Amino acid sequence: MMDLIKQASDHLRKSAYAIALTGAGISTESGIPDFRGPSGIWTKNPEAERKAYQRYEVFLANPATYWEERLSSPSLLGDLDRIAPNPGHHALAELERMGHLKTLITQNIDNLHQRAGSKQVLDYHGNESRLRCASCHARYEREEYGLEGLRREGRLPPLCKGCGGVVKLDTVHFGEPIPPDVAERSIEEVEKCDLMLICGTSAVVYPFASLPVMLKQRRGSAKAAIVEINAEPTPLTREGISDYLIQGKTGQILPQLVDEVKR
Ligand code: NAD
Ligand code: ZN
């Protein structure tokens, strides 16, 4: 494994524009379960999965009901205020500070990359700490809206301060399109990069999982390196999309990678 970490650190040092993609796996060491692993959220609670699939339809049909349900059920991920970034998040933030990592595209909604100090973060599936206008896509911090007060006064759903549109959680629900600004910027980052580090994702959720495939198929510019860091092989490993897999925990491997880059 150490050989592969050395190889990845060479790739990082030589790259002009490295980006990272992350998934639920990078946050398991912070105590947030993934979805479909042995102690995953859906594995333990199939009813919650069924409800999650309906959430976007409820929002479209009746945003007030959607908000009543959101405010009366706790976050599936647990109490995020009591959860802290782990060494994997900190290592990626440090790589950005050192100038080695330009952007991070995450599927996670937990805000832990930002809390670890990463600045250039694209929340591909939104962020639990924010709200988003379904019409103009403006983002708002949750606190800006006094949601409990609106609920007491019977004034749900919250409306956009810019355009008056209906506001939802920023989190992207099943069946909901990826917000167009984030989708476009992610593609731009993939087009620019010469190294992609893919950390803690099973790479089965689309369209996120198409980003590495897009890079592999990119034409015209020099070939980019694609490196996976994950507890297990994924379709990207098996289909030869990634050049190699460093198999293990992101909370252990990423700090070792930082040490190696610093040597
Ligand atoms: P996933 O659950 O499908 O896959 C996680 C992958 O990470 C698995 O391959 C697993 O083996 C691996 N893994 C688990 N712990 C690891 C560790 N410590 N080190 C290295 N690898 C580890 O997650 P996904 O690919 O991100 O897709 C699930 C969807 O669920 C995403 O859309 C995401 O938005 C959402 N989700 C987010 C959170 C969060 O915000 N923290 C949590 C659960 C699910
Ligand atoms: Zn708006």
Q: What is the pLDDT of residues 87-98, one digit of tens each?
A: 999 999 999 999
pLDDT(132) > 70 = yes
Report d(CA 130, CA 196) in Å as an integer: 27
Q: What percent of the chain has pLDDT over 70?
A: 98
Q: Rounded to 5 degrees, what are φ and ψ at 91?
A: -65, -40
Instruction: Give the pLDDT score at 148.
Output: 92
pTM of the model: 0.94
Report d(CA 160, CA 228) in Å as an integer: 39
Integer Rg of the chain from CA: 19
Give 132 Cα–ligand 2 centroid separation in angstroms.
8
Instruction: Give the pLDDT score at 221.
Output: 66
> Dihedral (C-alpha) 236, 237, 239, 244: value to the nearest 10 degrees?
110
For 9-65, what is each residue's pLDDT tens digit?
Answer: 999 999 999 999 999 999 999 999 888 666 788 788 888 888 888 999 999 999 999
Q: Which atom of ligand 1 is nearest to the CA of 208?
A: 32
Ligand closest in space to the Cα of 88:
1
Instruction: Give the pLDDT score at 169.
Output: 96
Contact 166, 160 (CB under 8 A): yes
Instruction: Give the pLDDT score at 1.
Output: 80
Q: List the residue whose alpha carbon is closest to atom 19 of ligand 1.
A: 249
Q: Is 125 assigned a catalytic role?
A: yes
Rounded to the nearest integer, the mean pLDDT of the chain is 93
What residues have CB less than 8 Å from 67, skipping those under 6 apart? 147, 151, 156, 157, 158
Report d(CA 37, CA 17) in Å as an integer: 32
Q: List the residue whose alpha carbon is closest to atom 14 of ligand 1.
A: 25
Overall average pLDDT of the 110-130 stretch: 96
Overall average pLDDT of the 206-215 stretch: 96
Q: List the residue whose alpha carbon is closest to atom 43 of ligand 1.
A: 34
For 141-194, what is each residue's pLDDT tens digit?
Answer: 999 999 999 999 999 999 999 999 999 999 999 999 999 999 999 999 999 999
Report d(CA 78, CA 45) in Å as an integer: 14
Coil, helix or strand at residue 39: coil
pLDDT(137) > 70 = yes
What residues flank ligand 1, with Cβ below 6 Å?
23-25, 27-29, 32, 34-37, 77, 107-110, 125, 200-202, 204-205, 230-232, 234, 249-251
